[in-house]
Amino acid sequence: MLCYGRRMHSGEAAAEAGKLLIIGLPGIELDEESRRLLADVDPLGVILFRRNIAGTEAVTELNRQIREGRSGFLMCIDHEGGRVHRMRAAPEFTHFPPALTMVRCGDPGLIRDVGRAHAAELRAAGFNLDFAPVLDVHTNPDNPIIGDRAFGTTPEEVIHNALPYLQGLTEGGLLGCGKHFPGHGDTSVDSHLELPVLSKATHDLTRLRTLELRPFARAIAQGIPMLMTAHVVVEALDTSLPATMSTRVIEDCLRGELGYQGYVVSDDLEMKAVADNYSVGHAAVMSLLAGCDGCLVCATPSLIREAHEALTRALVDGELPEAKHAAAVRRRQKLQSRLAKLERSAAPAEAIGDVAHAQLASRLSGIARA
């Protein structure tokens, strides 16, 4: 195996490898298995799903226990509205309609209010990062995974609506994360189940630059703190590798052409688009080599440990170059510094299920039905 740069000793490498991961936990409590996993991996953050949420008080307490004693720790969730609403067991949380429904109101100011409401309620429960907004352009009516999660069917519509939502999140004291770079809106398969491919014949560089990439470029210009990659092969950029593991997509296109200097996280490496073709450990290392700053491994403790062990080995034997790791560390520290400033300056979180939030959700749903 080729060696690049300084090798770390195993203890130092294991500690650093943990900070390259955001992980999922198995249940609704911080039981012994979860405590041991957190202690052994010591990740940058945790993402919660519906399986982790037993009610408003329960999830707030779970978040408190997870974050206790951890500085700069990311408490994450996918919380978009519509079908991506993890709070079914916590009905006090306001359930907003999906993004494409909200767009029909024709008022980006209201969508900004939704972002602020999401931030307020999530902060009250102990979250500090929402994996939103979706920046994909909904151009394929048969797309099984994006659909009404998108903020529009044209780049202009997505820019006009997703960026106010992002602004609302920020004003509410929450970090946002745009997804799924370089675009998942025109795929015909779900990357949770198989690997989508965007053909060069239909999605050449001109098409990508004028359609898929434009909302990401505008979000970058607005200062978005984090972007998530797509498990999609975009042949115009890389004929074989998914974007998550492609240097051509992340280093050359995202960082080089679009000039993005913020934090890049992979989508969940347990999704079948990746896991059916690569081991999770190998995928984690490839993602970091391609230019990601961190990886999501969202469900299985044994696979989380596999990713941690693979990243530890890559740091010990020099497979992950020192310069690349140092750049990831700088971007992580910048993200944590931004989070600390945001949390210090944000207004106190509003009550979950605030009556104004319910009225806003009802108004947006009513406009859609009209």
Looking at residue 191, what is its pLDDT?
A: 86
Give the type of residue at 43: P
Looking at residue 190, what is its pLDDT?
A: 86
Looking at residue 348, what is its pLDDT?
A: 75
The label of the residue with tokens 């008080």 reads: 57
**Beta strand spans in 53-125 (E):** 74-77
**48-104 per-position pLDDT tens digit:** 999 999 999 999 999 999 999 999 999 999 999 999 999 999 999 999 999 999 999
pTM of the complete model beyond 0.85: yes
Rounded-to-integer distance, Cα 79 and Cα 63, Å: 16
Rounded-to-integer distance, Cα 322 and Cα 306, Å: 21
Helix (H, G, I), strand (E, B) or coil at 362: helix
Contact 343, 128 (CB under 8 A): yes
Contact 169, 249 (CB under 8 A): no
The label of the residue with tokens 């200097």 reads: 261
Structure confidence at residue 9 as a pLDDT band (50, 70, 90): confident
Structure confidence at residue 370 as a pLDDT band (50, 70, 90): low
DSSP letters for 323-355: HHHHHHHHHHHHHHHHHHHHHHHSPPPPPTT-H
Residue 301 has pLDDT above 80, yes or no: yes
Looking at residue 4, what is its pLDDT?
A: 42
**179-196 per-position pLDDT tens digit:** 999 999 999 888 898 999
Q: Which of 269, 272, 271 is nearest to 282 (CA)?
A: 269
Q: 45-369 adopts what CATH topology?
A: TIM Barrel (3.20.20)
Crossing angle of helices 322-345/280-290, nearest 10°? 90
Catalytic site positions? 192, 267
- Arithmetic mean of pLDDT, 131-158: 96
- Worst-scoring range by mean pLDDT, 276-280, 355-359, 363-367? 363-367
What are the helix (H) ranges across the chain?
10-18, 32-41, 56-67, 99-103, 108-124, 155-171, 205-210, 214-222, 247, 272-275, 280-290, 301-316, 322-345, 355-369
Rounded-to-integer distance, Cα 55 and Cα 277, Å: 37
- Arithmetic mean of pLDDT, 117-136: 97
Q: Which of 81, 138, 56 is nearest to 360 (CA)?
A: 81
Structure confidence at residue 351 as a pLDDT band (50, 70, 90): confident
Contact 287, 247 (CB under 8 A): no
Structure confidence at residue 157 as a pLDDT band (50, 70, 90): very high
Rounded-to-integer distance, Cα 8 and Cα 299, Å: 28
Residue 2 has pLDDT above 60, yes or no: no
Structure confidence at residue 3 as a pLDDT band (50, 70, 90): very low
Spell 19-28 as b/e; 16+ CB within 10 A means b.
bbbbbbbeeb
- Please tell me the chain's helix, strand, coil percentages from 3-state DSSP, rounded to the nearest 5: 45, 10, 40
Q: What is the pLDDT of the chain when averaged over all its residues?
A: 94
Residue 305 has pLDDT above 80, yes or no: yes
Give the type of residue at 196: P
Residue 321 has pLDDT above 90, yes or no: yes
Looking at residue 1, what is its pLDDT?
A: 34
Rounded-to-integer distance, Cα 313 and Cα 307, Å: 10
Sign of the C-alpha dihedral, residues 227, 229, 230, 232? positive
Residue 116 has pLDDT above 90, yes or no: yes
What is the share, in percent, of the chain residues with pLDDT greater than 90? 91
Rounded-to-integer distance, Cα 85 and Cα 60, Å: 16
Residue 282 has pLDDT above 90, yes or no: yes
Looking at residue 136, what is its pLDDT?
A: 98
- Arithmetic mean of pLDDT, 256-268: 98
Contact 367, 104 (CB under 8 A): yes
